[in-house]
Amino acid sequence: MVAARENIGVGLMGLGVIGSGVVSVLTGKSDKLALESNRPLILKKILEKDVSKHGSMGLSKGIFTADFEEFLNNPEIEIVIELIGGESPAFDFIKRCIKAGKHVVTANKEVIAKHGYEILQLARDNHVDVRYEASVGGGIPVISPFIDALMVNDIKAILGIVNGTTNYILTSMAQEGLDFDIALEQAQKLGYAEANPENDIGGADAAYKLAILATLAFSTEVKIEDVYYEGISKLEANDFRYSKELGYAIKLLAIAKQTDGFIEVRVHPVFISEDALLAKVDGVFNAIEIEGDLVGKLIFYGRGAGAAPTSSAVMADVVNIASNICHEIKSIPKLPSGETYKIKRMPEVKTRGYIRMRILDQSGVLAQISKVLGDNDISIASVIQKETDLSSNTAEIVIMTHPSKEDAIQKALTDMRRLAAVKEINNYIRVED
């Protein structure tokens, strides 16, 4: 009976940075959590390979286990918090907890992006709840608005800065004139980038988050393989200098748009007008702009990572589930409704573009380049000569294009590289208006 329940048991998988933050909230805000949940939340067990961590957290050694079976079979655990990270073994552990009748809260963007539909369907079949607010945006509440407050809107677009590591690096390059390698090294020294930062700088982390957001926004299953993504390692100091001269900032944007029954989902560096709100989001901060047919444009802004913000999102999910348990409310995870949107593949996407290249400084070269672009149905908006190297008789030029299809741009870039007068194509960056 509800009246006889004394507390709600919580199990934690993973005691890393975020897990330690969650334990601090559970112990430091116990009275507030009990008030909001209607019963005390009691940490019953921690699944952690390094059981020696108990000393640093002031926890009893007996609360730790490295044995998943012991953790799973603990009858006192009703809500499991998964903070192991990565796909394996987290995905298997989550499924087994659900089958055992335990509610699950996770911050695992990779698992939700790759297996979210399966997990949510399994939760429905086993009459438990699964929540994942912390999987995107850290402490920024962006998942729950899609599920609740924005449910009657037709979402037109999502534009997001959803990775704090890359945003810090791009901010450093823009404001300090640093090259990419130096900016990355600085981010690693400050703890904003991992020792192996490939998921961040390569765009995969943002792609996972975009797959989750797009699935919710368009109520259709968007798989990670549907998301085109590229990273920031090809950006150079000159790109930032020229972007500023042209009135733009450079950001790694997660972009999802719905038009005429198609969805485009892509992550890549963009030129964005320096007057846009997203252009002003600097450092490790995240921001997500959502456009709905009824609400217009909304922006969610804040710290996208870190122990405190992420713990806020995790514990909000835990409290909501606990409150439902106490009130005997069966919360059913929301599944995509099966809309019939098709994914627009990247070659079909149209954007404006910035091309920076080094060419021979002689007459007739621009005519050759213009012909290649024209042959590929690409219209030039402007051509600017930036720097001349007298010793090599070369010049650096910047070409801005009108909107063109991606496949045409890529073919034109290939064709231009074959021109003897084109010494190097340094970069191609899309422009997001």
Residue 2 has pLDDT above 60, yes or no: no
Rg of the chain taking only CA atoms, in angstroms? 25
pLDDT at residue 90, rounded to an integer = 98
**How many Å apart are CA 6 and CA 173, to the nearest integer?**
54
pLDDT at residue 51, rounded to an integer = 74
Q: What is the pLDDT of residues 343-358, one digit of tens each?
A: 999 999 999 999 999 9
Which architecture, in CATH terms, is 143-303? Answer: 2-Layer Sandwich (3.30)
Across the range 61-85, mean pLDDT stands at 96
- What's the start-to-end Cα distance of the chain, in Å? 57
Task: Please calculate the CA angle 217-221-227 and round it to the nearest 5 degrees.
Answer: 85
pLDDT at residue 336, rounded to an integer = 75
pLDDT at residue 53, rounded to an integer = 65
**How many Å apart are CA 240 and CA 243, to the nearest integer?**
5
* Among candidate residues 221, 227, 218, 49, the one with its CA nearest the CA of residue 119: 221
Average pLDDT across the chain, whole number: 94
Q: What is the pLDDT of residues 236-276, one digit of tens each?
A: 999 999 999 999 999 999 999 998 889 999 999 999 999 99
Percent of the chain with pLDDT over 70: 97
pLDDT at residue 433, rounded to an integer = 85
Across the range 391-403, mean pLDDT stands at 95
Spot the catalytic one: 44, 45, 209, 257: 209
**How many Å apart are CA 134 and CA 56, to the nearest integer?**
24
Report yes or no: 323 and 79 within 8 Å, Cβ to Cβ.
Answer: no
pLDDT at residue 1, rounded to an integer = 34
170-184, 230-244, 266-280, 294-308: least confident range: 294-308
Q: What is the pLDDT of residues 7-64, one digit of tens each?
A: 999 999 999 999 999 999 999 999 999 999 999 999 999 999 887 765 667 788 889 9
pLDDT at residue 3, rounded to an integer = 44
pLDDT at residue 4, rounded to an integer = 52
For residue 390, count CB atoms less than 10 angstroms from its CB and return exposed for 0-12, middle for 13-18, buried for 19 or more.
exposed
Q: What band does 157 get if pLDDT is binned at 50, 70 and 90?
A: very high
Please state which CATH number belongs to domain 2-138+307-326: 3.40.50.720
**How many Å apart are CA 31 and CA 398, to the nearest integer?**
60
Q: Name the residue ranges covered by the structural domains of the chain.
A: 2-138+307-326, 143-303, 349-432
pLDDT at residue 310, rounded to an integer = 93
**How many Å apart are CA 51 and CA 63, to the nearest integer?**
9
Across the range 374-399, mean pLDDT stands at 93
Q: Annotated catalytic, 99? A: no
Report yes or no: 221 and 336 within 8 Å, Cβ to Cβ.
Answer: yes
Q: What band does 330 get if pLDDT is binned at 50, 70 and 90?
A: confident
Percent of the chain with pLDDT over 90: 84
Q: Residues 157-187, buried b or exposed e (16+ Cβ, 10 A)?
A: bbbbbbbbbbbbbbbbbbeeebebeebbebb
Q: What band does 206 get if pLDDT is binned at 50, 70 and 90?
A: very high
Q: What is the pLDDT of residues 109-154, one digit of tens each?
A: 999 999 999 999 999 999 999 999 999 998 899 999 998 888 899 9
Across the range 293-317, mean pLDDT stands at 93
Q: Is the dihedral of CA 171, 176, 177, 183 positive or negative?
A: negative
Q: Taking the model in full, what pTM does it have?
A: 0.94
**How many Å apart are CA 143 and CA 109, to the nearest integer?**
12
Q: Which two tokens stand for residue 386?
A: 């930036």
| Amino acid at position 200, single letter | D
**Inter-CA distances, 48 with 5, 24, 67, Å:** 28, 16, 8
Residue 360 has pLDDT above 70, yes or no: yes
Q: What is the pLDDT of residues 217-239, one digit of tens each?
A: 999 999 999 999 999 999 999 99
Domain 349-432: top CATH class:
alpha beta
